[in-house]
Amino acid sequence: MSYIDAKKKYAEVGVDTDRAIEILKNLPVSLHCWQGDDVIGFDHDGPLTGGIQTTGNYPGKAKTPDELMQDLDKAISLMPGKKKLNVHACYAIFEDGEFVDRDKIEPKHFKKWVDFAKERNMGIDFNPTFFSHDKVKDNLTLSSPDEETRKFWIEHGKACIRISEYFAKETGIPCVMNIWTGDGFKDIPSDRLNPRIRYKESIEEILSEPHDPNLVKPCVESKVFGIGVEACTVGSAEFALSFAALHEGCLPLMDNGHYHPTEVVSDKIPALLAFFPEIALHITRPIRWDSDHVVLYDDETREMAKEIVRNNATDRVYMALDYFDASINRISAWVVGFRSWQKALLSALCTPNESLKKLQDENNMTELMVMQEEIKLFPFGDVWEEYCRVCGVEASFKWLDEVKKYEEEVLLKR
């Protein structure tokens, strides 16, 4: 079937595929720089810590800012749609021989990222890095009982607010700044309250750093558990949600790898939209735990996209990818994940959401089931191809040839 025929077929159920394509072209999705080097960054030599883990040892990992940017460019060239760049504080770029600790980093250490983003018309999102550092004391940062430790990380958070504002001013696009820490306890703690009170007060101190709420959008990301901190996570779901609800300008961020395995973020999105003007998402693929596998075009991914699109919330939900796989070609991983989320959004945009809602309101669940099943087999592939064509990106699996060539010519020579 050609796009013309597909378009007709969708029009029969009231879907305008041209319009869907037009909308998606302009919807920013945040692309995480950390898929390119297994969440290591440039400000330390040590391993990834803090309850998260990359597994695998595929050759060709980026080790310098230039390599990472080159890889990002290759990946971006194979992804349709609008991108925003997502940078972590540990990706600060220092002059030769320079080292600045996280409590003292400045906008100038991210100037190369700004140049990179501006040249590609991208906004930038930011993340303080509260892990992979020797000032993480006994698995705690912002919630540590040790004042010096807490202070260090509060200063880091404040420095990141200043850097976020710099990003927003330079790019002209608001910067979403996400606070996630792996703070927690491996075994049964004797006090679950005071760490949370300290965590709350520390985040409040960070947010007291002057900033324009239209430019910097701070978020708090919750988690159920991490490796090595299985018994208690300080920034739990209830903690983060309550914090965001009670602090104006602070958004809740849901990572779909951070819940019990049968909980679904697709159902949580509308629940939060009923209360919060804006929310943020980390889109990942958990297998049995927060494994951060590459995002695929699977049922729950599609369900999440549907909730954003059919509730007209594309301007209220900040979408960011967050996965890392070191066992396969890292550029391919980037591309598959980004394309999958694009497919999910496009498919949601090609769904006759209004008429399906009406069937539900009329309690016509029979027809609703039939229609939802029918739509699954509509010629979506043709719409996807057209979308890629409009975006000037290879639609078929042939994009992988590009990655293979790049692997041979660049990655394997590293």
For residue 290, the minimal CB distance to Zn ion (Å) is 8
Burial 131-167 (b: 16+ CB within 10 A, else e): bbbebbeebbbbbbeeeebbebbbbbbbbbbebbbbb
For residue 292, the minimal CB distance to Zn ion (Å) is 8
Nearer to ligand RNT by Cβ, of 27 and 89: the residue is 89
- Note if 223 is an active site residue: yes
Interface residues for Zn ion in 224-263 (CB under 5 A)? 255
- Note if 134 is an active site residue: no
Do 87 and 125 form a contact (C-beta atoms < 8 A)?
yes
- Note if 373 is an active site residue: no
Asked if 223 is part of the footprint of ligand RNT (rule: CB under 6 A), the reply reads yes
Do 286 and 292 form a contact (C-beta atoms < 8 A)?
yes
Given Zn ion, ligand RNT, none, residue 127, with its beta carbon under 5 to 8 Å by kind, binds: ligand RNT
- Note if 290 is an active site residue: yes
Nearer to ligand RNT by Cβ, of 7 and 32: the residue is 32
Catalytic hit among 83, 200, 211, 258: 258
Nearer to ligand RNT by Cβ, of 91 and 387: the residue is 91
* Residues 160-199 as x/- pattern, contact with ligand RNT by CB under 6 A: --------------------x-------------------
Both structure tokens of 269: 């999105």
For residue 237, the minimal CB distance to Zn ion (Å) is 13
Asked if 382 is part of the footprint of Zn ion (rule: CB under 5 A), the reply reads no
Nearest of 403, 412, 331, 378 to residue 7 by alpha carbon: 378
Q: Which of 322, 382, 386, 407 binds ligand RNT (CB under 6 A)?
A: 322
Nearer to Zn ion by Cβ, of 170 and 322: the residue is 322
For residue 336, the minimal CB distance to ligand RNT (Å) is 18
Q: Which of 38, 165, 290, 407 binds ligand RNT (CB under 6 A)?
A: 290
* Residues 309-328 as x/- pattern, contact with Zn ion by CB under 5 A: -------------x------
Q: Which of 10, 34, 116, 185 binds ligand RNT (CB under 6 A)?
A: 34
Given ligand RNT, Zn ion, none, residue 39, with its beta carbon under 5 to 8 Å by kind, binds: ligand RNT
Interface residues for ligand RNT in 124-153 (CB under 6 A)? 127
Asked if 89 is part of the footprint of ligand RNT (rule: CB under 6 A), the reply reads no
For residue 48, the minimal CB distance to ligand RNT (Å) is 9
For residue 242, the minimal CB distance to ligand RNT (Å) is 19
Q: Which of 221, 307, 382, 407 binds ligand RNT (CB under 6 A)?
A: 221
Do 259 and 294 form a contact (C-beta atoms < 8 A)?
no
Interface residues for ligand RNT in 357-386 (CB under 6 A)? none
Catalytic hit among 180, 341, 384, 399: 180
Interface residues for Zn ion in 282-301 (CB under 5 A)? 282
- Note if 322 is an active site residue: yes
For residue 289, the minimal CB distance to ligand RNT (Å) is 10
Q: Residue by residue, what is the 3-state secondary structure of the chain? A: CCHHHHHHHHHHCCCCHHHHHHHHHCCEEEEEHHHHCCCCCCCCCCCCCCCCCCCCCCCCCCCCHHHHHHHHHHHHCCCCCEEEEEEEHHHCCCCCCCCCCHHHCCHHHHHHHHHHHHHCCCCEEEECCCCCCCCCECCECCCCCCHHHHHHHHHHHHHHHHHHHHHHHHHCCCEEEEECCCCEECCCCCCCCHHHHHHHHHHHHHHCCCCCCCCEEEEEECCCCECCECCEECCCHHHHHHHHHHCCCCEEEEECCCCCCCCCHHHHHHHHHCCCCCEEEEECEEECEEEEECCCCCHHHHHHHHHHHHCCCCCCEEEEECCCCCCCCHHHHHHHHHHHHHHHHHHHHCCCHHHHHHHHHCCCHHHHHHHHHHHHCCCHHHHHHHHHHHHCCCCCCCHHHHHHHHHHHCHHHC
Both structure tokens of 156: 């880091």
Nearer to ligand RNT by Cβ, of 319 and 346: the residue is 319
| Integer Cα distance of 281 and 293 in angstroms | 16
Residues assigned a catalytic role: 180, 221, 223, 255, 258, 282, 290, 292, 322
Interface with ligand RNT (CB under 6 A): 34, 39, 52, 127, 180, 221, 223, 255, 282, 290, 322
Interface with Zn ion (CB under 5 A): 255, 282, 322
